Structure 1
């Protein structure tokens, strides 16, 4: 069973999400919150698997609430899906920087919302690589070039750095495998090691770090990508 907290300042919205989610046998709404402060308090008390977090809320906005919630030294932190009516890039980027696992518009179709909650609970990313790259290139204030040798990256092997660059350029595991001529399972192993070494929760956060450290920079040549195929697994699917 996947436990969910719904945080939104509108009761009608919270009720609508509850009805949609609790119609599924594996989803359960265990709590609601009408402000950012309540979202943090309720989530810490109930310890859900997923928090649906509205961005525009009183007292504390959803991005700040997410930052507070995920700052705790707790191995069982929830996965946060940000919700908004506004398709603004700055909200998406702010959400990712705060540690959110994904970003959804409130008019997301019912089935995509359900899929997104399940995917988030499983630790999967919920934003297409191309969108992630576009947002970061547009809004990230880059530090001075350091040749990709920031202290946080020095624990990575040359191969892991190569994989991280390709992740930041928007390639899926399947495409990375084809680009560097290894099995997809090997790429997954590299990705897991990269996240573990850098202390990151998702590959989205790895993309942010790659740009922040100068490992990848806007304007760099695009990574060569093999022809795309239809998404065959949740990892390759786009929910936002």
Structure 2
């Protein structure tokens, strides 16, 4: 996904809306020791303030017109990686946020540490999805509203869907095996099959693929 290592954000610009001074302070506290450059921006004139490389945009859901402004910025700068801070209201808003290009989510009351981990996750793998969002995310995919592949429709078994849901939650091979009452070898087999079917390079790419499919559903 092309980002710095999770424990080293040197060279990464983290953009934060000037309309949220408390959020600016929390983000700065979270990533300052990792070398990230925190830049305060105006969300409404954002495209003029975005660079050419990979950047994380921290979006405050309380900001006016956050959804439209984020979608416009992502359209103009495809390497932008938005992280939404705020409580998502229902599945429709979650769907709209992902469709706008948002790749990470943190609740309104997220700690400094949680924001830091989300930014590191986006920098490392391109996404930051809380476990609470994993099931609805995969359920939407299962209904054909999200996952898309370069070779068209593919058949995904029920057990593969169960495995995908746990992979999205960042569960380890042993944890998935325990949850599904199967061997670790079976989990690896399901994961390998999913990566081949969906055209993913690795497990992190599976999560990113689900998000990309959500933003660009099959016709």
Q: Deviations over 1:1-59 (max 9, x none)?
A: 1321112513343234223321x233221x2124x22333212x46452111122324x
Q: Distance in 2 between matches of 1:106 and 1:191?
A: 36
Q: Deviations over 1:140-171 (max 9, x none)?
A: 7x9xx9xx6x9x65715846x45996279623
- Equivalent position SS for 1:52: strand
The residue that corresponds to 2:75 in the other structure is: 71
Count of residues in Structure 1 that have an aligned counterpart in Structure 2: 192
Is 1:193 aligned to residue 199 of structure 2?
yes
Aligned counterpart for 1:9 among listed residues 19, 40, 52: 19
Q: Distance in 1 between matches of 2:131 and 2:74?
A: 23
Q: For residues 181 and 169 of structure 1, do their structure 2 counterparts lie closer, same or farther at Cα, with a shift above 3 Å needed? A: closer
- Equivalent position SS for 2:122: helix
Q: Distance in 1 between matches of 2:101 and 2:159?
A: 18
Is 1:170 aligned to residue 180 of structure 2?
no
Q: Distance in 2 between matches of 1:191 and 1:7?
A: 39
Q: Distance in 2 between matches of 1:73 and 1:164?
A: 37
Superposition RMSD in Å: 4.4
- Equivalent position SS for 1:57: coil
Structure 2 unaligned runs (5+)?
A: 1-9
Is 1:181 aligned to residue 190 of structure 2?
no
Q: TM-score, normalised by structure 1?
A: 0.59
The residue that corresponds to 1:114 in the other structure is: 116
Q: How does 1:45-60 map to 2 (within 5 A)?
A: 45=51, 47-58=53-64
